[in-house]
Structures are given as C-alpha cells and as structure tokens.
Structure 1
Amino acid sequence: MPFWKHSRGKKWLALITLGAVAVSVPATAQVKPGNAAGANPIIRDKFTADPAPLVIGDTLYLYVGHDEAQRDEMFNMREWLVYSTRDMKTWTEHAPIMNVKDFKWAKADAWASQAIEKNGKFYFYAAVEHDATHPGKAIAVAVSDEPTGPFVDARGSALVTNAMTPRGTHSWEDIDPTVFTDDDGTSWLAWGNRQCYIAKLKPNMIEIDGPIREITPPHFEEGPWLHKRGKLYYLTYASLDRKTQRDEHVSYSTASSITGPWTHRGLLTGSGKYSFTIHPGIVQFKENWYLFLHNATLAIGDMNGAIGRRAVTVEHLQYNPDGTMKPVVQTEVGVSIPRVR
C-alpha cells in the first residue's frame, strides 16, 4: 500500500466510513485460538486494535477497539470491547462496553482507549471525533461501577478538545489517551499524535488540574502508554522515523519523575506484521510483565488483515538490571510458552 495512504492526513480521514449499529455479543462467549492457548493473535473471531490492559485482583481486563473496516475502507470503528482472563491463555468476551454514540457530543470514531480504577469506580478514557461545535479529535471520559461496564459519559462534554492544545500542527493530535495513578494517588493523563501531552487529573478523574505540558520524545507518532516499575517511570509509544521507517515501531523513554525530564531509550519492538500502526499496552500480572500490541495477520472468512482490520497480540516483557526494557521480538507463539528467566 502506498505510504500516503498510511499517513494520518486529510486523505485517509476522508475515506473513513462511519457506522452506528452496535453488535450484540453474548456476555460469556469464549475466544478459541486456532493454535495453543496464549498464541498470537489472542482474539481470533473479531478484528481488534489498540489494546489496553487493566489488572483488578486475580483478573486481567483487556480493552480494545473493534475494527469493522470492509474491503478497502481505512478505519471503521464504532464501539469498544472488553475481554478478561485469569491465566493469560483463556479469554472471556464480555458485552461491548460503549458505542461512540453514547457520547452525544461526538460524531464518529471509537479510537484508542484505556480504563483505570480509582476510588471504587472505573474510568474509561477514549479518543473520538468531536461534532462541529469543537472540530477535531477529542478525549472522552466515561465511568462505571464495574470493569465490564456499562460505562456512561461522565461529563456530558469532552475532557480534552483540539482547541486546548493550540501548539499542535493538526486536528487529530488529541487521540490515544493513557492514564496512570502514581504512588501518592495523583492521576495523570497523557495523549497525542505527533505531539505528546501530559496533564494532571483532578481527584474526580473527569477534569484537568493545571497546565497541559508537551513532553514529545524522539520520533513520537501516537499511542503513548505510562507505567512505573520501582522508582522509574516509563513512556512507551508508537514511533516513526519518517526518514528510514515505513511502519510504526515501539520506542520508549524513562524518567525519575512523571513530569520528566525524559531520557530516550530507543526501540522496544519492530513494526507489527502487515500493519502500519502499532499500539503498546504494558502491565504486570501475577508477577510477570506483559506487552500488548497489534498486527494485521488475522484473516476472518474472506477478510484479510489490513490497516483497518488488526489483531491484538501479547508478548512477555523483561527488564535489565538497570531498569531498561529488553527488546521484544514479536512472535506467533506469544505467551503460550513460559518466558525465559
């Protein structure tokens, strides 16, 4: 596919086909991988993208976007889905947690999301296309009493709009939210495309508290993810060196403070197979660390993987003694075999 079709510009935005019909899914349907349990892709009956893991007790919940692109469509995403596991091999599908129509002020695009627990409630942050009152991409926030929903709009308006980040260069910079709560209980939101932003959240989790700062690392494209291990903060993201790379890779930076300064650490992974985009999600679960990604290797019926038909994968993640992350090789076996210790 020519590179211009991948670029996040007006050409491909004009090609997106919008939809508004939710798909009803049995709440306890089981995903049955074609290979060993835990092999990649981990979800094989739907095209899914932008994985965001959340651990609650002995269960890992995985929030994903639902790719529904037909034939030569670029992106057609209307709803967000959630899966759960207790063993990283058997995944339970729950009912869709939200449709983009549930945000009355949004007009399209159920793009990348992440959920977090705070004060006994679950907050869900997602990228959508705002209606004409605030043109451009925006960050929405919803709330639920349960990790599997149902989620409802927590504000009745966008948490972040394009007008709030005037330093940016384009109207789709306010996408791909990641949310992180530090040891002192303070929660932070980061997001962006081409420019990476970070802001503190108020304790109610639905308002920005203070200034929006830009923390754009080298070759930042989109899909930031914040996590902490020990005393070190990590900013992992989809990167693109436009001089040498055709597809997105995963890079990361580290810092001793959530506000930086951030030290660039280079590549964590290569590109997702057959996919221009890639989206990292990192979590510790039952003493092991995992890196969730997506590629475009899945075929369902006569529909092959494509830029708008992606598939979520997971790999073991390991750290060096100095806290840097060991490079991850993407595989078909995934976590179906124990990690090398």
Structure 2
Amino acid sequence: MINKKMLFSFLLFLLFTTTCFAENPLIQTNYTPDPAPMVYNDTVFLYTGHDEDHATGFTMYNYLLYSSTDLVNWTDHGVVASLKSFSWTPNNGAWAAQCVHRNGKFYFYVSIHGKGIGVLVADSPYGPFTDPLGKPLFFHSWNDIDPTVLVDDDGQAYMYWGNPECYWVKLKPDMISIDGKIDSLVPRMKTYQEGPWIYKRDSKYYLAWSSTCCPEGIGYAMSDKPTGPWNYKNSIMDGNSNSSGNQPGIFDFKGATYTTGFTNELWFSIQGGRSVRYERRSANLAKITFNPDGTIPKIPWFGVGNPTPGVPQVGSFNPYDTVQAETICWSKGVRTEACKDAGGGMNVDSIHNGDYIKVKGVDFGENGARSFDARVASATNGGTIEIHIDTVTGPLAGTVTVNGTGGWQNWVTKSCDISNVTGKHDLYLKFTGGGGLLFNFNWWKFYPVDQTGTEMGFKKADGNIRNMTIVNGTGKAISLQLNIPQLLSNEDLTFNLFNLSGQLVNTMSGINCENRNLIMNTAGTRSGTYVLKVLNGKQTVLTNIVNLQ
C-alpha cells in the first residue's frame, strides 16, 4: 500500500512543466474517476467517484464533491455520498453517478455494481443526500451502470445508461420513478462501450460515451429528439494506450463548452513509470467547440508528457474573501480531511516541509494586499507558511509563523504583513519546518489597502480582527453588538447569513454602521451553525460563526 505522504508527492520535474499540466488532473489530493459536472448558481459542481489509494482493481466506496467558479481552482467538499447512504448495497462498487437539479431538489443517480441504479435526494448540492426509496430505482440486468439524466425544456426527464448496450427510459416528474418501459438505443452506435452522457445544445441532442474499450476515447451521436433515432458522428477524443478508460461529462459554463474525462497520469507520476496500471484514475478537463452544423471537432487526448493545455481560467480569484485552504489549482504533498473547527467542512492536512498549494489567477487589485490571516492547528512544533508570488520560488510577500496549538484540531488564527503584491498573480502557499507533520490548515484571507494607502476592513494595526459579538442567537432573532473601526463608521453594510452548505438563508442590507446594536430576524430558521458575513459593497469585511439555539 502506498503511504499517505507518497500518494500525492509528484516528481519534482513536474513543478517546472507547462502551466497547462498544472491544471490536469484537476485534483491531486485524491483519485477521482468518473467525473460528472453540474452547473448551478454560476458554480461548477464536480461529483466524482473515488478510487482508494490502495486500489488494484475497482475499489470504490464513496463519492466526492469539488466545486469551482473559475474552472481552475477547485474546492474540496469531501465525501458527499457513499454506499452507506443506502441500506441495500454491497461493501464495494460505488460506480459512476450524476447529479441533476429540479424544482429545488438535487437528485443523485448512482450505479452500484451488480445491484442496479439508485437515487439519492437532497435540498442542497452539498447534501446531505438520503435514499427516498430504500431500494434500487431499477435493476433489470448486470449491465445497469453509468446513469446520465436530462431534464428537457418541456419538463420531461430522460435517463440513459448501460454497458455494453445503451438503454434509456423516461422518468416521472418526481424524478425517483420510471415512466414506461426500458428501451435500447437504436441503432446501436458502432463505438459505444459505456459511460453515456446526455447533453442538449440549441435544438440538438448529443449523446456522448466512452468508446471502444480498450483504450476508451469519447464518441458521440446526434439526434433531433431525445428518443432518437441517433446518428453516429465521430470521436470527440480518440483513446490512448496510456489509459484504459474514459468518462465524458459535457457542460456549458459562462459562454463556453467543456468535457471532463479521466486518465491514470497522476498514478503514473507517483509510481515513476507506466509499468503497472492500477485503477487509480483522475479527473481531467478540456474545452470543446462546435462546427456550424453542430458537429464537434476532435480534440487531443488529455495528454502524456506534453499534455493538452488546461482550460483557461474564467475570470479571476478574489483573495479578500475567506478562502478555504482546500481550494487548490495545484498542490504537492498535501491531503484533506474533515474539519472540526467552527463551520465544519474540510481542512488541509499531511503538511510536510516543502509541500505547497497553488491558487491560480489571484487578483490583488491596483492597491494590493496589506496583511494575511491563516487558520491553523498543530500537535507538533508547527512551521511556517511562506507566501510566494508567480512560482513556488518566486518573490516572498510574507511569512506566517505557526506554533504548536496542542492538537491537530485546536485552531488559532495567525497573521502577517504583506508587501509589494498588486495585480493578478498565481499564489503559492509554501510550507516549511522540521521533519514530520507540521500543521493543519483550514482557511486564509488577505486584507486590502485602500486608495489612500490605509488598511481596510475590520482589522486593527496589531493584526487582530475586530469582533462582532453575538449577544443572543435563537431561532427567532440574532442580537448583534458591533465594534466597527472609524474608517467604516459612515458606510452602509450588508449582513448575509449562510448555512454550512453555502445557501443564503437571511440578509439585511443598507445598515448604517452608526447603529451599533442590531437585530436580525431569524424566525423560521432551524437551529444549528451558520456563517454570518458582513459586506461593504461587494467586499466581505467580516466573517463570524453563529450558533442558533
């Protein structure tokens, strides 16, 4: 078995390869086969399978979730569902899945090897997902794997799946029962193998699939109707002998179209060669285009040695909001785990000397950053976070010293000054220290300099964040006492209350800071832990945890 540290310590030469490879595979902290994208609220949610670190064959127990607003920096949300989400599944076989949104609900269709297609339902894309049926949605043969679902413009939902045949069926409006009989794809496409993905563009329907095992590429057909007949077109991507499988996932995002897939390149880089091909697969992403007639020009395979360029960043990255440390474009050495700090979520762990995290396209603005906070915990002597610009050995903008905190989940916030950082850069957070594990890392945040060169935000010169005291938090109201710096005393603020899934549940806007005692009406809000963010315009100036009783 590969130890935890070895798993994602890439060969050193990869640090100096082209930037495009630094974005494929998308995730370096886990093996992520069968990626299935869903776009919701200007965010790409990427649901993946999970090849276990020690997998030699298909060893898959759960499903992972990552999200991105720019397609290059991905936030790890951990395990979103597992075989334990069902009462009727075996101990292995969490195969390909897809999540779709309809009528305020999220439906997660999964294939359980040898047991059929199941469905889980949640109120949020982050879960929690539960099984509404207590049994498979259907099981009509061992070929029932790799479901994909389209909710058409008229509201009718269709599901496609299967290996080596492709089947389809209508779903009822409840999305958890089938409507009518199961049919086979007619005619059978000559390269179809498994892993179908249904996609609609304008008035045309596209069915893509993993083609002609093995190796598998991505083939596709087109139709004027979701029920066919389907006309085979070509390959979107040819297979490559360096990878057995593939899995398309076509989606539109902010004016362009992309497809996911997977390769073994992460595993090959870890073992230092290609002699052993275990089922340790990793999600990749590529951009696709369309000819005037709607057909898709062929794109290169994701790449070996000189890989295809990673997709361009969509927009830029804001460093002045609280950023989860597990938001990563590229990393060396680190892993992630469930976090017990206020707010839960995930944190970065397995940090050793020389490891780092890269965040791409961070926009510090014309006036730049003044200071930096990091939320950290250490059961040892800690270490440092070196803040480098553009490369892992680039200009040093600041250094955070992390001391021991008495435990891996005993969290403190540490700060440092930042100098000479303006404009848009790749950000490298490099970890240094002695031998062994250094510390865990939960979140980070920069603070900007305003146009007159003074510090903005709820922050004192000594680096301590000015607090907002939660006097009382109940299911009916939150009483707030504000401690606001003079700089913002005449500004209007917005108070947004989010649940831990990131959903906005309450808001107050146009609040003048001269009012130091406020009441937020939370009638009807369930008890639990929430995040309260205070905004000055579009800039988040304070984040605080609120526990509603």
Give the TM-score, by structure 2 length. Answer: 0.50
**Which residue among 296, 310, 315 is the counterpart of 1:335?**
310
Give the equivalent residue in structure 2 for 1:59: 43
The CA distance in 1 between the partners of 2:311 and 2:133, in whole Å, is 41
Percent of aligned pairs sharing the same letter: 38
**Which residue among 273, 286, 304 is the counterpart of 1:315?**
286
Judge which range, 209-218 or 308-317, deviates more. 209-218
Q: CA offsets, 1:276-303, max 9 Å, x none? A: 1110000000111001000100037558
The code of the aligned residue for 1:313 comes to: N
The CA distance in 2 between the partners of 1:204 and 1:295, in whole Å, is 35
**Which residue among 275, 296, 304 is the counterpart of 1:325?**
296
Give the equivalent residue in structure 1 for 2:177: 207
Q: Secondary structure at the match of 2:257?
A: strand
Change (3 A) 1:154 1:36: farther
Change (3 A) 1:313 1:334: farther
Q: Secondary structure at the match of 2:23?
A: coil
Tell me if the contact between 2:144 and 2:161 (Cα under 8 Å) persists in the aligned partners: yes
Give the equivalent residue in structure 2 for 1:84: 67
The CA distance in 2 between the partners of 1:249 and 1:261, in whole Å, is 22
Give the equivalent residue in structure 1 for 2:219: 251
Give the equivalent residue in structure 1 for 2:484: none
The CA distance in 2 between the partners of 1:263 and 1:191, in whole Å, is 18
Tell me if the contact between 1:314 and 1:334 (Cα under 8 Å) persists in the aligned partners: no
**Pairing 1:102-113 to 2, within 5 Å after superposition:** 102-107=85-90, 108-113=92-97
Give the TM-score, by structure 1 length. Answer: 0.80
Change (3 A) 1:257 1:79: same
Q: Tell me if 1:36 matches 2:14.
A: no
The CA distance in 2 between the partners of 1:246 and 1:124, in whole Å, is 28
The CA distance in 2 between the partners of 1:148 and 1:217, in whole Å, is 35
The CA distance in 1 between the partners of 2:51 and 2:309, in whole Å, is 21
Change (3 A) 1:137 1:248: farther
Q: Tell me if 1:96 matches 2:64.
A: no
Q: Secondary structure at the match of 1:101?
A: helix
Change (3 A) 1:323 1:238: same
Tell me if the contact between 1:272 and 1:278 (Cα under 8 Å) persists in the aligned partners: no
Give the equivalent residue in structure 1 for 2:134: 156
5+ residue gaps, structure 1: 1-32, 130-135, 166-170
Q: Tell me if 1:287 matches 2:255.
A: yes
The CA distance in 1 between the partners of 2:19 and 2:127, in whole Å, is 30
The CA distance in 2 between the partners of 1:257 and 1:282, in whole Å, is 18
**Pairing 1:99-178 to 2, within 5 Å after superposition:** 99-107=82-90, 108-129=92-113, 136-161=114-139, 164-165=140-141, 171=142, 173-178=143-148
The CA distance in 1 between the partners of 2:149 and 2:173, in whole Å, is 13
Q: Secondary structure at the match of 2:199?
A: strand
The CA distance in 1 between the partners of 2:132 and 2:241, in whole Å, is 37
Change (3 A) 1:74 1:228: same
Residue 306 of structure 1: how far off its partner (Å): 3.2
The CA distance in 1 between the partners of 2:209 and 2:46, in whole Å, is 18
The CA distance in 2 between the partners of 1:209 and 1:126, in whole Å, is 18
Tell me if the contact between 1:272 and 1:296 (Cα under 8 Å) persists in the aligned partners: no
Tell me which stretches of 4 or more aligned residues in structure 1 moved more than 6 Å: none
Change (3 A) 1:175 1:69: farther
Residue 101 of structure 1: how far off its partner (Å): 2.0
Q: CA offsets, 1:225-272, max 9 Å, x none? A: 0000011000100111xxxx7411211000000001000002110125
**Pairing 1:264-279 to 2, within 5 Å after superposition:** 264-271=232-239, 274-279=242-247
Tell me if the contact between 1:111 and 1:176 (Cα under 8 Å) persists in the aligned partners: yes
The code of the aligned residue for 1:89 comes to: V
Give the equivalent residue in structure 2 for 1:12: none
Q: Tell me if 1:184 matches 2:154.
A: yes
Aligned length: 289
Identify the structure with the greater strand proportion: 2
Q: Secondary structure at the match of 1:50?
A: coil
Residue 322 of structure 1: how far off its partner (Å): 0.1
Tell me if the contact between 2:115 and 2:136 (Cα under 8 Å) persists in the aligned partners: no
